[in-house]
Amino acid sequence: MRSRVLFPLCLTGLLLACASGGARSTPSEAASSDSGPVQPCSVNPTPPEGTTQVLITARPDGKVHFSSTTVQVRAGQTVSFVSQVQQDRCIGVSNSGLLKDGSQNPLPVPACQVASWKLRAADEPGTTTSLWSCPTSDCSKCTQSQGIRETINGTLEVTGRGED
C-alpha cells in the first residue's frame, strides 16, 4: 500500500529525498547546492490565475526552495511551475498517464518563466504519483533513474474530479 506521506527533503544535489528515514527537514529548509549559488530573477514572471502553483525560489543563502512538495490538484485542472530563479529546471512525474495527452514529461521550466501541466479530467480522486526535478535545460539528461542526488521527491495528488 502506498503511503501518502511525503519524503522530507535534505541538503545536497538539487534537493535530496531522505527516504530512508534520516534527518527530517521542513520545506523551508529544502535546498540545493547546484553548480553554485542560484540567483533570483531580476523580474519575476506573473503567475497564472486559477491554477495550482509551485514556486521555485532562491533562498538568501543562494540555494533553491520549492514552495510545495505535495502538489494537490483536482483532475482536469492545471499545475503551474513558476520559476523565480535564473536557472532552468525540468520537472517530471512518475506516472505520465495523469497528464493530459500531449503534455511534456519531464516539463522544461525555463529560468524566470512559467510552465504548466494540464491533468486529465477522468482521473479518480486519491491518485498519487511521485514528483521530481533536476537543474538542466535538456530534459533528456534528467531522468528519475539518475537517482536521488539530482532529484527532489514529492507527490502530485489528484484530490477530486475535474470538470468534463
- Looking at residue 37, its pLDDT comes to 84
Residue 115 pLDDT exceeds 90: yes
- Looking at residue 50, its pLDDT comes to 86
Total structural domains in the chain? 1
Provide the CB-side half-sphere exposure for 149 (13 A, CA). Answer: 3
Pair 88, 101: CB distance under 8 Å? no
CATH number for the domain that contains residue 124: 2.60.40.420
- Domain of 70, in residue numbers: 52-144+151-160
Name the strands in the sheet holding 128-134, side by side, starting at the edge strand that comes first in the sequence.
70-73, 154-158, 128-134, 89-93, 107-109
- Looking at residue 82, its pLDDT comes to 95
Q: Give the whole-angstrom CA distance, residue 77 versus residue 54.
A: 14
Residue 126 pLDDT exceeds 70: yes
Residue 31 in any domain: the answer is no
Residue 108 in any domain: the answer is yes
- Whether the model pTM is above 0.95: no
Residue 140 in any domain: the answer is yes
